[in-house]
Amino acid sequence: MINTELQKRILSSIILLPIAVFSIYHGSLFFALFLCLLFLLTSYEWLKMSKTNYLICFFGFLFLIFSFFSAFFMREYMGQFFFLFIILICILTDLGGYIFGKIFKGPKLTKISPNKTYSGVVGSFLFSIVVGILFLEYIDNNILEKDPIKIPLGILFISLISQLGDLIISYFKRKAKLKDTGNILPGHGGLLDRVDGMIFVLPIIFILTFII
């Protein structure tokens, strides 16, 4: 029997995913408006969570600006497929961690986030690498032959950054004595809870594309 929390997660995802995919696919104005809405909501949640420390609040706000700018730039100038693939790996990381953590449980990873387990970390990496490669093979069955080392390492790197981003936001939630950053998404908590990994992955990938 599916528990109530999981039911809420599924319902929220069914509503949110088509809107996200539509805006990413069409790009330009649609995507810009979608990002602006996400930026306003996540900024509001960040403000509530860090309002006792004005310096952290300010730099966090600047970071969110850079993160959402990175998202817009990557979608518009690096292509929707590249952008969607990065988002997919972040989602798979979150999903793998949630499923493995619920099924296998086991030792806790850190006090920063009591729900995080070592089995969840394994699930995050496993889901992202397996499903990510299957997705790429479906798009182009010769894609791994072009770069059999760099692609899997890239997926694992994105998954790692996504998990670290999750822990960083969890740290600030713990300091603010909050369970979730908000309650806008039933079963998920706040919007910042759901995009915490992505907002760290996107600016890092954005910077690396200019360095490598």
Q: Is the pLDDT of residue 212 over 80?
A: no
- How many separate domains does the chain show? 1
Most confident region among 23-27, 66-70, 82-86 by mean pLDDT: 66-70
pLDDT, tens digit, 9 for 90 and up, residues 154-164: 999 999 999 99
d(CA 65, CA 100): 33
Which are the contacts of 155, defined by CB distance < 8 A and separation ≥ 6?
89, 128, 129, 132, 133
User: Which range marks the domain in which residue 85 is found?
Assistant: 4-211
What does the pLDDT look like over 21-35, one tens digit per residue?
889 888 788 899 999
The number of angstroms, rounded, from the C-alpha of 35 to the middle of its chain's C-alpha atoms is 14
The answer to whether 191 touches 38, Cβ cutoff 8 Å, is: yes
Residue 2 has pLDDT above 50, yes or no: no
